[in-house]
Amino acid sequence: MQNATIVSFSSAVSRHVNIATLLSLSFHHLSKESIVSRTPHRRANYASIANMARGNMARGKNPRSNMGNPHRPRPQVANPMSLDNQQSFVSTHTLPPPSIEVPKDTPRFADLQGKNLLDPTVLLTLTDDLKFDHMMPVQAATLEYLLSGADCLAQAKTGTGKTLAFLLPAIQTILKRDSLGLSALILCPTRELALQIAAEAMKVVQRLPGCKIATSIGGTNKNAEATTILRGCSILVGTPGRLLDHLSDGRMQAKLGSLQTLVLDEADRMVDMGFLPDIKRILSYLPKLPRQSMLFSATIDDQVKNVAHLFLNKDYEFISTIPAGEANTHERVDQYLVSTPNMVDHAPAMVSVVEAECATTKSFKAIVFAPTAAHVDFYGEVLASIGSLPKVSVLHSRMSQPKRTRTTQDFRQATNGVCVATDVIARGMDFPGVSHVFQVGLPADKETYIHRLGRTARAGAEGRGILVLSEPEKAFLYQLKGMKIQDYPSTLQYKIEDIEPALADLQTKQKVYQAWLGYYKGFLKMLKWSSADLVREANRFALDGLDCPEVPALEKSTISKMGLKGVPGLVVSANKPGSNNPHRRGGGEGRLQGRAPHKS
């Protein structure tokens, strides 16, 4: 049995209920003072709400058969989706299955009938259209309390049903108060998660034609998006950056005047990604009127509690559905370390271990995490040249939003495949059936390592995690003390020559070199390097690891932004027009934001 703990911050008292007593309670009695329990590994039929099309990915038989072929396949990324079809995509977007099995000992949604807690039309949608039967633990623990209109900080893992837990109170408020304008604002850290929430919201309001859902996310046409929002919506789901762009328009500010519900999903990830200043600015635009606020987070630390105090009423409730002592996902994943002599060997070692793992399983669905967008494209090119692997796709924030959306959906539906990605999918996104997580190079910190690892071994399934580090990077292992990481059990054979045909075709070597410098600049203390050591290792990586004919040149302004001005070994080129633009991005996604890395 697993428990949920409920703490009232107004009284700072934690209350506990005997499990046998709990199971005898009706939903009406599952109040904020209750503990919600579930029995493990009992599955309800989710086919009707997550009918995932799973295609069999045929594997080639000859390893590296495509290397050196000018017509070899590139990493496969979906064609751009028309922005005009974004709303249509959201409305037909299939929902991912839960990452835990639906219990049979929690209250049923049908139990809400006659309790005057939820609109009958919405209840009918849940039970008849979506075929929801028993509640997930987070729903059972929070729904009655949240449907009363109270504020809440809820701790729940991704893929456990928390989206519905905050959508239902938001929708009930719209119907109860007969709201005509924008009633609910839902903020989340990534575009993919925003689309996922919007898709679920549209399923829930399918019988309510007057309840419109809109999104506010980067990578799409801002003007078209603004037109949709200004035309009228009941629920707006967005990311902080794009929403702030819209709020420079007075008309958009006026839209917030009717706001009754505020939700922050993945609050811990928002803090990790440095969104707190943006969130505070958004808060300044909200009306000084009574509203319900809900924060959902997988982890609760002091920074998340500080955010809670900014957004929630002082008598808010803290409800945790992650019981004390419950094994974290990473504790159920077999974890292995692949050590390389230096960073030059990262890519060939990655190829060797991915091939070795793929050969051991029929269903090989892997995420390969890389530190920057440039590294993702680089590793994607290399892996796509391997004839023995299933389809290889890439995912990072520098792709257009339509491409990111389609790639995300395709990988979610796949039974076999390799997705090379930055931390854009480390949290908040649920991909069913991921068998392996590879992390190539230094993770930003311990939390990043754990969150990445959490993409596998979900819903009681097994999973494997492999970390590829060079000797200098192994200082990071001090942060992972207590975690059961073993040396990789097999001897891997690899050399840089294995990937030379792929390197010959690589067109982004200068970008990879620049991104490498920008990323590892943030770890000088951990690596015990000086700036001169950093440049020396970067040049070695360029010449030997990327097979560059000479050290790539960097613009003078780029070197200055990196804080490497005057460091010997750099090749300086003149600034290109516009290179001094402060909004111009450089260095590559994956550089540290928000919290500083832990220092060993």
Considering the domain architecture, whether residues 240 and 372 belong to the same structural domain is answered as: no
Model pLDDT for residues 168-214, shown as the tens digit of each residue: 999 999 999 887 799 999 999 988 899 999 999 999 999 999 999 99
| Boundary (domain end) residue, out of 501, 531, 550 | 501
Kindly state whether residue 87 falls inside one of the protein's structural domains: no
Model pLDDT for residues 311-359, shown as the tens digit of each residue: 898 889 999 887 654 546 667 789 999 999 999 999 999 999 999 999 9
Considering the domain architecture, whether residues 466 and 357 belong to the same structural domain is answered as: yes
Determine what percent of the chain is predicted with pLDDT higher than 70: 76
Q: Name the band, by pLDDT with cuts 50, 70 and 90, for residue 241.
A: very high
Considering the domain architecture, whether residues 27 and 140 belong to the same structural domain is answered as: yes
**Do residues 474 and 339 touch, judged by C-beta distance below 8 A?**
yes
Considering the domain architecture, whether residues 479 and 364 belong to the same structural domain is answered as: yes
Considering the domain architecture, whether residues 256 and 139 belong to the same structural domain is answered as: yes
CA–chain centroid gap for 509, Å, is 27
Considering the domain architecture, whether residues 391 and 294 belong to the same structural domain is answered as: no
Kindly state whether residue 422 falls inside one of the protein's structural domains: yes
| Boundary (domain end) residue, out of 320, 340, 372 | 320
Considering the domain architecture, whether residues 223 and 253 belong to the same structural domain is answered as: yes
Kindly state whether residue 150 falls inside one of the protein's structural domains: yes
Does the pLDDT value for residue 479 go beyond 70? yes
Three-state SS letters, 9-72: CCCCEEECCCHHHHHCCCHHHCCCCCCCCECCCCCCCCCCCCCCCCCCCCCCCCCCCCCCCCCC
* Domain that includes residue 432, residue range: 329-397+409-501
**Do residues 417 and 391 touch, judged by C-beta distance below 8 A?**
yes
Among residues 446, 447, 486, the alpha carbon closest in space to that of 465 is found at 486
Q: How many independent structural domains does the chain possess?
A: 2
**C-alpha–C-alpha distance, residues 258 and 498, integer Å:** 61
pTM for this model (two decimals): 0.60
Q: Name the band, by pLDDT with cuts 50, 70 and 90, for residue 541.
A: very high
Model pLDDT for residues 7-43, shown as the tens digit of each residue: 554 433 333 333 233 333 333 333 333 333 222 222 2
Kindly state whether residue 587 falls inside one of the protein's structural domains: no
| Boundary (domain end) residue, out of 470, 501, 532 | 501
**C-alpha–C-alpha distance, residues 62 and 386, integer Å:** 8
Kindly state whether residue 68 falls inside one of the protein's structural domains: no
Return the CATH number at 224.
3.40.50.300
**Do residues 37 and 23 touch, judged by C-beta distance below 8 A?**
yes
What is each CA distance from 181 to 189, 236, 394, 548, in whole angstroms? Answer: 24, 11, 39, 57
* Rg, the chain, Cα only: 25
**Residue 1, token pair as written in the block:** 């049995």
Considering the domain architecture, whether residues 287 and 430 belong to the same structural domain is answered as: no
Lowest mean pLDDT among 115-129, 408-422, 426-440: 426-440
Considering the domain architecture, whether residues 305 and 237 belong to the same structural domain is answered as: yes
Kindly state whether residue 88 falls inside one of the protein's structural domains: no
Kindly state whether residue 579 falls inside one of the protein's structural domains: no
Does the pLDDT value for residue 90 go beyond 60? no
Does the pLDDT value for residue 598 go beyond 70? no
Kindly state whether residue 599 falls inside one of the protein's structural domains: no
Return the pLDDT at 244: 95
When the pLDDT of each residue in the chain is averaged and rounded to a whole number, the result is 80
Considering the domain architecture, whether residues 255 and 286 belong to the same structural domain is answered as: yes
Considering the domain architecture, whether residues 489 and 461 belong to the same structural domain is answered as: yes
- Helix, strand, coil percentages (3-state) for the chain, rounded to 5, are 40, 15, 45
Among residues 295, 77, 66, 59, the alpha carbon closest in space to that of 165 is found at 295
Considering the domain architecture, whether residues 262 and 196 belong to the same structural domain is answered as: yes
What does 133-199 look like in DSSP terms, one character per residue?
-BPPHHHHHHHHHHHTT--EEEE--TTSSHHHHHHHHHHHHHHHTT--S--EEEE-S-HHHHHHHHH
Higher pLDDT among residues 400 and 48, named by residue: 400
**C-alpha–C-alpha distance, residues 421 and 408, integer Å:** 10
